Amino acid sequence: MPGKKKLPTLLKPPKKERGMEIRPREARVIGVFSCKGGVGKTTVVSNLASSLVDLKRKVLAFDANLGAPNLGLHFGELTPKVTVHDVISSDLPIREAVLEIQGVPMVLGSIAYEDEVRPTDLRELLSPLKREYEMILLDSAPGIGSEVVAALKACTGMIIVTNPYVPTIASTLKTFRAAEKYRVPILGVVVNRVAGEPFELSVGEIREALGWPVIGVIPEDKRVRESTAAGIPVVKYRPRSKAARELKKLASSLSERLKSL
Ligand SMILES: Nc1ncnc2c1ncn2[C@@H]1O[C@H](COP(=O)(O)OP(=O)(O)OP(=O)(O)O)[C@@H](O)[C@H]1O
Ligand SMILES: [Mg+2]
């Protein structure tokens, strides 16, 4: 009796049709957090985003500081055409809020928005963008309030920015507790504004106090303040300055780690 002919391997239906859907890799959502305000979160996000674009990474910077957005200021953009606030208040598709400024794709907030921002599920909001980028960098608000929690919940990993001072390190511990509570993997700590003064904590002391690896040490550098005032990330404004060199180093190591994140 003639047996059933076997399908040649090449004619087998693709895996997807056999019930194993192959999904393209989605963007890693990396949030930049600090409990204390003004430590350098937006500086880190703007410079990482700019450097990662130079490294040919598909990255999007996203202003998750809905109460006091200032990512646009770091790129000299004060009045973005479409903002995340427009998306939230009028149910516009999130793609309409993606702007490209200085070559960097980003979603900005409205500085002029005065109404209360309605609680937003950032994970859902970001979802349509995840197929288009390798990494979404979230610029968080300071503190540990509801908008920070919304950002935390959307993250697949986080970077914690701190300064080398005892009060800042003490409040940074709160951010670690929040990371634990919401089970967000910590990529590491960036110590910003290191001036080498005797009253500063050393990187070793910070590592010991926080118990996590320090992945970047950015010096105090007047060029950073100048660049913020000029609305151009320091990696572009003064690429050879000390701070720019360290920020670019951090971007390269993040780019390398992207495969394993
Ligand atoms: N390494 C540095 N050297 C000198 N100045 C710096 C450095 N990093 C940041 N700054 C300056 O500190 C100020 C605050 O930085 P930034 O806006 O990034 O802080 P932030 O943590 O995002 O603040 P917020 O919590 O208000 O969002 C800016 O004027 C910036 O230029
Ligand atoms: Mg900020």
Alpha helix stretches (DSSP H) within the chain = 41-54, 84-90, 122-126, 146-154, 166-181, 203-210, 222-230, 234-237, 242-257
Is 19 a domain residue? no
Q: Is residue 151 part of a domain?
A: yes
Q: Please give the model's pTM, rounded to 2 decimal places.
A: 0.91
Q: How far is CA 34 from CA 13, 18, 49, 122, 161, in A?
A: 50, 46, 18, 18, 5
- Say yes or no: CB of residue 223 within 6 Å of ligand 1: no
Q: How far is the CA of 74 from the centre of ligand 2 (A)?
A: 9
Whole-number pLDDT of residue 22: 57
Flag whether 188 is in a domain.
yes
In-domain check, residue 16? no
Total domains, the chain: 1
Confidence of residue 116 (pLDDT cuts 50, 70, 90): confident
Mean pLDDT of 29-54: 97
Neighbours of 242 (CB within 10 A): 16
Count of residues making up the chain: 261
Q: Per the domain annotation, does 246 fall within a domain?
A: yes
Nearest atom in ligand 1 to the alpha carbon of residue 243 is 1
pLDDT score, position 23 = 58
If one compares 112 and 243, the residue with the highest pLDDT of the two is 243
- Express each pLDDT in 197-230 by its tens digit: 999 999 999 999 999 999 999 999 999 999 999 9
Cβ(228) – ligand 1 distance below 6 Å = yes
For residues 101-119, average pLDDT:
88
Whether 255 lines ligand 1, by a CB cut-off of 6 Å, is no
123-177 pLDDT per residue, tens = 999 999 999 999 999 999 999 999 999 999 999 999 999 999 999 998 999 999 9
Domain of residue 60, residue span: 25-260
Q: Indicate whether residue 37 lines ligand 1 (CB < 6 A).
A: yes
Q: What is the pLDDT of residues 6-26, one digit of tens each?
A: 444 444 444 444 455 555 689
**Cα-to-centroid distance, 69 and ligand 2 (Å):** 7
Atom of ligand 1 minimally distant from the CA of 161:
21
Look at ligand 1, atom 8, and give the residue with the nearest C-alpha. 40
- Classify residue 6: in a domain, yes or no: no
Nearest CA residue ID for atom 28, ligand 1: 225
With respect to residue 128, please indicate whether it lies within any of the assigned structural domains: yes
Tell me the CATH number at 227.
3.40.50.300
* Residue 5 is assigned to a structural domain of this protein: no
Among 116, 199, 121, 193, smallest CA distance to 161 is for 193
* pLDDT at site 48: 98
